[in-house]
Amino acid sequence: MSVLPEDPRVGELSEAIILRGILERLGGSRALVGPGDDAAVLAMAGRVVATTDTLVEGPDFRLAWSSGYDLGWKSAAVNLADVAAMGARPTALLVALALPAETRLSFVLDLADGLRDACDRLAPGCEVVGGDLTVSPTLTIAVTALGELEEREAVRRDGARAGDVLALAGEAGQAARGLSVLFDRFRDADGRPVPVDRSGLVPDDARALDAQLRPLPPVALGPVAADAGATAMMDVSDGLARDAARMAAASGVSFDIDGAALGPHRAWAVSGGEDHGLLATFPDGRELPEGFRAIGRAVPARGDGPAVNVDGAAADGGWDPYRDWDGRSG
Amino acid sequence: MSVLPEDPRVGELSEAIILRGILERLGGSRALVGPGDDAAVLAMAGRVVATTDTLVEGPDFRLAWSSGYDLGWKSAAVNLADVAAMGARPTALLVALALPAETRLSFVLDLADGLRDACDRLAPGCEVVGGDLTVSPTLTIAVTALGELEEREAVRRDGARAGDVLALAGEAGQAARGLSVLFDRFRDADGRPVPVDRSGLVPDDARALDAQLRPLPPVALGPVAADAGATAMMDVSDGLARDAARMAAASGVSFDIDGAALGPHRAWAVSGGEDHGLLATFPDGRELPEGFRAIGRAVPARGDGPAVNVDGAAADGGWDPYRDWDGRSG
């Protein structure tokens, strides 16, 4: 029997040993059948909400900037937000990890910690019920989240009506600003990412970094918004300009946004994503649920005019993974 | 407005245009909320079965050997088999595609065709209800499959009892033999994969190739086995030696397999995987459902002895993604 080094690389280990380590970090499962069989079995009543979102090294993160824990947290958070955006409560994650053979076991175990802690913090009761491990040249984390609508109707993107109030819950622009802090402050002369040293950061930059690396989408407010009569809802992953335009197109309206309502990071909020806040519309005159603030209003579709105006001028920008990736990794 | 080349690369396109092409190929969805919102909404009664499995360029496939259609088919099939192995009927897939920017649009559309056709053939009524598109240096297809148990109990790996008959449905060894045909016949002098020319293949080798590239797991037999009283079940993805040993460990038994019952490709069936046949145990004396054949018997656990014997000798071999990958791609 070989003696393993203190922090082995996954390429030195069997799948079974890696899995055992991950499952220890995740803790026990309350599923009817949890990890370890061909599939998980879950008690889910009625309508099930399901979504998948992937983080890929390079376009979505750099290993110099994100720890395993950060990546576990973020890959859970972005999927939990998508479930919440339908008005549902997340109950289960499946996690497909594709790992380079040279990945340290400690990194994988930290990632499992991040997954678990994000579930505990953002969606108590939600847990990892299954997954898959493969080897890959590119570190890739594909998460599927499942949730329950209970008695609520799903809140879609296409229900906004002219006159509705446009409201936002969660951060607006912090995560995008955090990305700019990383690009501006933590690259070497050749543009390669270098490890983050927080000691020189002012508190607001440190908060922006946290928002980028470990976002806090307002997951619990998804069902709250549904109960409060939201007519449309989505999570903001690509910036308000792009995402509000998607809601506008689906609903057949346009939006007028009040820039002052977007807070101190207005430009980032419009053009940058990844806060995974919840954007929702509510009927005019309806009291907004706590946690949501009005940022504008739905108006009749402007046809060839702008789908989204901010203070009367067309909003543009927003992130497109196929157009905007700079091709670097590290 | 720019004019697109006839078969553009995905890096030249917006996410929205790629998605529209994929959704056209997939056809309409019967889900309560299908693709296009933050998450899908599905009507699922009672207990839900969920599993995820990923195909990665390099360890899992080579683009010289697999078409987009093959990969769509296989990524669906391996997940459908996992749902079936619990005794459930697959109802929905979520597909996370991570694509190199130079991938041709036609390849992605073929992949969508393969996903749809595998669902139609192997699990009628099952469909793609959602997904995710990201750019990546490494082509990666992460599929999550959901299924319904209806009134059945889930069939786990841990229910085999000494005296039970061990039975198999589906191919045994063909897919592994097909992989060896690829490695032996379709590589150049430097070991790099070259495109498959079927004109020189004898029919049995062509069939093996089909089993490797477009496997036909007996998905419909999963619920049938559950109804027939299967005590344990799993899909065979890593060869009988490894997978039967997993069932043996989970159930606290050992297995004696009759080599002659494994058919003409016995050695491949023991050590090679990817047929995604269903391995199940049934109480002694119970009539096996059509499509299953007896291949052995569960016996009391042999302790330190072999978990799986074939004709009285310990079976070994089987595929481990972290130990057995040769690191090549292409």
Q: How many CB atoms lie within 10 A of CB A157?
A: 23
Q: Alpha-carbon distance A116 to A269, whole Å?
A: 28
Predicted confidence (pLDDT) at residue A323 exceeds the cutoff of 50 = no
Q: Alpha-carbon distance A291 to A317, whole Å?
A: 26
User: What does DSSP assign to residue A198?
Assistant: G
What is the per-residue pLDDT for A46?
Answer: 83
Q: Alpha-carbon distance A132 to A318, whole Å?
A: 32
* Residue A318: band (very low, low, confident or very high) from pLDDT cuts 50, 70, 90: low
Predicted confidence (pLDDT) at residue B93 exceeds the cutoff of 80 = yes
Model confidence over B109-157: pLDDT tens digits? 999 999 999 999 999 999 999 999 999 999 999 999 999 999 999 999 9
Predicted confidence (pLDDT) at residue B323 exceeds the cutoff of 50 = no
Contact A41 B56 (CB under 8 A): no
The DSSP-derived string for A35-93 is BTBSSEEEE--SEEEEEEEEEEBTTTB-TTT--HHHHHHHHHHHHHHHHHTTT-EEEEE
Q: Alpha-carbon distance B79 to B82, whole Å?
A: 5
- Give the lowest-confidence range in A16-20, A115-119, B165-169: A16-20
Residues β-bridged to residue A133: A97
- 3-state secondary structure (DSSP) of residue B266: helix
How big is chain B by its Cα radius of gyration, in Å?
21
A165-323: CATH homologous superfamily? PurM-like C-terminal domain (3.90.650.10)
Contact B18 A137 (CB under 8 A): no
Shortest Cα distance, chain A CAs vs residue B181, angstroms: 23
What is the per-residue pLDDT for A258?
Answer: 97
**Mean pLDDT for all residues in chain A:** 93
Q: Alpha-carbon distance B98 to A321, whole Å?
A: 11
Predicted confidence (pLDDT) at residue A320 exceeds the cutoff of 60 = no
Q: Alpha-carbon distance A43 to B46, whole Å?
A: 6
Chain A residues close to B145, C-beta within 8 Å: 39
Question: Residue A108 class from Cβ within 10 Å (0-12 exposed, 13-18 middle, 19+ buried)?
Answer: buried
Tell me the pairing of strands B253-257 and B140-148.
unpaired
Tell me the pairing of strands A292-300 and A253-257.
antiparallel
Between the alpha carbon of residue A281 and those of residues A7, A146, A163, the distances in Å are: 50, 24, 9
What is the per-residue pLDDT for B330?
Answer: 40
Fill in the amino acid letter for A127.
E
What is the per-residue pLDDT for A330?
Answer: 40
Fill in the amino acid letter for A262.
L
Q: Alpha-carbon distance B56 to A140, whole Å?
A: 10
CA atoms within 13 A on the CB side of A66: 30
Q: Which residue of B has its CA nearest to A78?
A: B38
Shortest Cα distance, chain A CAs vs residue B55, angstroms: 8
Model confidence over A110-164: pLDDT tens digits? 999 999 999 999 999 999 999 999 999 999 999 999 999 999 999 999 999 999 9
Q: How many CB atoms lie within 10 A of CB B320?
A: 14
Contact A44 B39 (CB under 8 A): no
Contact B88 A146 (CB under 8 A): no
* Residue B159: band (very low, low, confident or very high) from pLDDT cuts 50, 70, 90: very high
Model confidence over B39-50: pLDDT tens digits? 999 999 889 999
Which spans in chain A are helix H?
15-26, 68-84, 105-122, 174-185, 203-213, 221-227, 240-251, 266-271, 321-324
Predicted confidence (pLDDT) at residue B205 exceeds the cutoff of 60 = yes
Predicted confidence (pLDDT) at residue A292 exceeds the cutoff of 90 = yes
Chain B residues close to A39, C-beta within 8 Å: 49-51, 82-83, 85-86, 88, 145, 147
Is there a contact between A323 and A238 (Cβ–Cβ < 8 Å)? no
- Summarize the confidence of residues B231-253 as an average pLDDT: 96
* Range A13-148 has CATH code 3.30.1330.10: yes
Q: Alpha-carbon distance A32 to A28, whole Å?
A: 12
Question: Residue A185 class from Cβ within 10 Å (0-12 exposed, 13-18 middle, 19+ buried)?
Answer: middle
Tell me the pairing of strands B277-282 and A232-236.
unpaired
Contact B130 A59 (CB under 8 A): no
Model confidence over B171-193: pLDDT tens digits? 999 999 999 999 999 999 999 99
What is the per-residue pLDDT for B102?
Answer: 96
What proportion of chain B, given as a percentage, has pLDDT over 90? 89
* Residue ranges at the known binding site of A: 38, 51-53, 60, 82, 131-132, 157, 235, 237-238, 274, 319
Contact B37 A322 (CB under 8 A): no
Predicted confidence (pLDDT) at residue A63 exceeds the cutoff of 50 = yes
Mutation for A interface: B74, B144, B274, most A CBs within 10 A? B144
Is there a contact between A94 and A129 (Cβ–Cβ < 8 Å)? yes
Contact B235 A94 (CB under 8 A): no
Contact B53 A18 (CB under 8 A): no
Model confidence over B268-283: pLDDT tens digits? 999 988 899 999 999 9
Nearest to A50 among B47, B94, B101 (CB): B94
Chain B residues close to A36, C-beta within 8 Å: 157, 250
- Which CATH code for domain B10-148? 3.30.1330.10
Is there a contact between B320 and B238 (Cβ–Cβ < 8 Å)? yes
Residues in chain B: 330
> How much is the ipTM here?
0.93
Q: Specify the residue for token string 């950060």.
A: A70
Nearest to A56 among B15, B98, B145 (CB): B98
CA atoms within 13 A on the CB side of A174: 22
* Residue ranges at the known binding site of A for ATP: 131-132, 157, 237
Mutation for A interface: B48, B103, B143, most A CBs within 10 A? B48
Chain B residues close to A49, C-beta within 8 Å: 39-42
What is the per-residue pLDDT for B329?
Answer: 42
What is the per-residue pLDDT for B272?
Answer: 84
Model confidence over A220-229: pLDDT tens digits? 999 999 999 9
Predicted confidence (pLDDT) at residue A88 exceeds the cutoff of 50 = yes
Q: Alpha-carbon distance B261 to B257, whole Å?
A: 8
Q: Which class does domain B165-320 fall in?
A: alpha beta
What is the per-residue pLDDT for B328?
Answer: 45
Predicted confidence (pLDDT) at residue B321 exceeds the cutoff of 50 = no
Nearest to A92 among B41, B50, B60 (CB): B50
Shortest Cα distance, chain B CAs vs residue A38, angstroms: 5
Contact A43 B43 (CB under 8 A): no
What is the per-residue pLDDT for B317?
Answer: 66
- Summarize the confidence of residues B251-268 as an average pLDDT: 95
What secondary structure, in 3-state letters, does B228-262 show? CCCCEEEEECCCHHHHHHHHHHHHCEEEEECHHHH
Residues β-bridged to residue B300: B253
* Residue A329: band (very low, low, confident or very high) from pLDDT cuts 50, 70, 90: very low
Q: Which residue of A has its CA nearest to B101?
A: A322
Q: Domain spans of chain B?
A: 10-148, 165-320
- Give the lowest-confidence range in A310-319, B64-73, B225-234, B236-245: A310-319
